[in-house]
Amino acid sequence: MKTLGILGPKGTHSEEAALWLKKHSQEDFKLEICADIFDVLTAVKERRLDAGLVPVENSLEGSINITLDTLARSDTLTISRELIWQVKNFLMTRPLVDVKAVKKIYSHAQPFAQCRKFLHKNFPDVEIVAATSTARAAELVAVDEHSAAICTERAGKLNGLTIAAKDIQDNPNNFTRFFEVAYRPRDAAPIETFDGDKVLIICQIDGSRAGSLCSVLEEFAKRNVNMTRIESRPARTILGAYIFFFELETDAGDVALKDAIQAVYDKSIWLKNLGAFPVIQA
């Protein structure tokens, strides 16, 4: 049976998304809990897991840098599919706890950022304590009476917590994109076809040349290849050197995509093509 790694412990948004995928997809797989996102991706690279479901971007707070950086620095990872997951945050406490008596609120950094207005309005003087995940926050609250967690409903219930407030995110349009990442051998055949909704390529261009990024973008535009996302990350070589992530729609067809990617490759210091993948809206 296929093994799929996720960020743990049980009750994270990653687990909820994976359980939804398992229920609605035609394949069966076993979930494997990992300590953090890097551990998930490392286990896939080392072939201890068949795949991993990891967050790559939140609509309110932006990119998940560890996911992008690991994809950029690996030559054996590819993307099987993307899942768009609506994030709902709950404030949860131990049973019978008066929220006015709460002295600490535990959560991951992302939910804290997603719920700033709620926290400022309702808990301006409460101590905010970062946890490694929302599920871990629920575990901490289960043994700390005068505290609350911002977590998933499942995480709270797994730890005997009750709902104090639901849907507390500042913006209802709160979505996280997940990539299912799999292993691809270094000697695999070059990608010639693009069966899917989007393609991800990663490259480093010479930023010292004026207009170098514009020149790359023109290769997509003149072939009618639509770019849905561009992201840059430090190359970690010298100050001012950057890696670029381009997500492209596949509507232009195989020939246009292949020619565009080859043209960008010719203008890059290096380029990685992670292939095409379907996009699933949960």
Residues 6+ apart with CB under 8 A from 275: 78, 79, 184, 191, 194, 196, 199, 200
Beta-carbon contacts of residue 67 (< 8 Å; ≥ 6 apart): 37, 41, 54, 55, 56, 179
Extents of the domains making up the chain: 1-87+174-187, 90-166, 189-282
Q: What is the mean pLDDT of residues 81-97?
A: 92
CATH code, 90-166: 3.40.190.10
pLDDT tens digits for 39-65? 999 999 999 999 999 999 988 778 888
Q: Structure tokens of 197?
A: 């909704």
Helix ranges (DSSP H) in the chain: 13-24, 37-45, 65-72, 109-114, 116-122, 134-141, 153-158, 212-221, 254-266
The pLDDT score that the predictor gives to residue 70 is: 92
Q: Give the whole-angstrom CA distance, residue 14 versus residue 37.
A: 10
Asked if residues 135 and 152 have their Cβ atoms less than 8 Å apart, the reply is: yes
pLDDT of residue 240: 67
What are residue 234's phi and psi, to 5 degrees? -60, 140
Q: Is the dihedral of CA 87, 94, 19, 276 positive or negative?
A: positive
| Whether residue 95 has a cis bond before it, omega within 30° of 0 | no
Quick: pLDDT tens for 264-273.
999 889 999 9
Mean pLDDT, rounded, for 12-29: 87
The CATH architecture one would assign to domain 189-282 is 2-Layer Sandwich (3.30)
- Please tell me if the domain spanning 1-87+174-187 has the same topology as the one spanning 90-166: yes
Query: For the purposes of burial, counting CB atoms within 10 Å of the CB of 76, is it exposed (0-12), middle (13-18) or buried (19 or more)?
Result: middle
Structure token digits, residue 132: 């490694």
**What is the pTM assigned to this prediction?**
0.85
**CATH code 2.40.160.20 for 1-87+174-187:** no
- List, for residues 214-225, the tens digit of each pLDDT value: 888 999 999 999
DSSP-derived letter for residue 60 is: T
